[in-house]
Amino acid sequence: MQTIPSYKLRNGVEIPAVGFGCYKLATDEVNELMRQAYDNGYRHFDTASFYGTEEGMGDAFKTLGIDRKSLFLTSKAWKTELDDVESAFYATLKRLKTDYLDLYLIHWPRPDLSDPSWAETDLKAWHVMEKLYKKGDVRAIGVSNFLPQHLLPLLADCEVAPMVDQLEIHPGYGQECAVSFAKEHGIQMEAWSPLSRGRVTSHPLLQELAEKYGCSTAQICLHYAVQQGIIPLPKSSSPERMRQNLDVFSFSLSEEDLYRLRTMPQAGWSGEHPDFERVFF
């Protein structure tokens, strides 16, 4: 089992520097995947109501007898839940079989692209999340897929500023503007799809650097995130790849090589953008 370093959020809560992504886990595999991930050192698990994996994860942690205090659990309020975030939050707790969350996020900033009042919807939901935070039912609150233009309305009218923002980030899609904005405002950045679902791992630059540093292209992708202080959330069903995905702290990319990755032409984008319709390739 590998030990994962942690970062401190603005409020002092410690968050493991690598998480386990729980999107699209097969129902009949959840118990075994949670056990393997936990045994390999993962303590940070990222899910969402939209993923449909909360109940299976809750069952798995209970069946496996895993101490709740050893886990860092994140979930998210989906687009259709923003009008009643409080009910959505407690439904998530029930499915996960826990009485608190470590981190709760608004999943997307614009539930309906045709609705000009999205900022008011976000702010109303955020104020409910602030209440949940002050009550102590969640240890930290934040957002997902929010770019600077989506964060500004929240920052202008909040009592508790977002502590985390989760975006698609990987070599070829570094979101440099959003990452810089988050750092300026003390917001911890997380990376979903840090391996680009395999779309950039065959890129010649990734292959060159993997050979140079004696690691896999996936490890280059993940270290690209951690060397910038970004928390990657890789997903894997293979115990060996689970271990490899945590073994990203034993080497460091040279300054030159990190800049080569940060200045790559756009590659591996999923087609998702919060201000536009999904692009299918």
Distances (CA, A) of 42 to 124, 158, 167, 212, 233: 34, 32, 20, 27, 11
One-letter amino acid at 12 equals G
Among residues 7, 23, 42, 51, the one annotated as catalytic is 51
Match 């992708």 to its residue by tokens. 221
Q: Is 51 a catalytic residue?
A: yes
Match 């799809």 to its residue by tokens. 193
Say if residues 14 and 8 touch (Cβ distance below 8 Å). yes
**Phi-psi sector, 87: left (phi>0), alpha (psi -120 to 50), beta:** alpha
- Residues annotated as catalytic (active site), given as ranges: 51
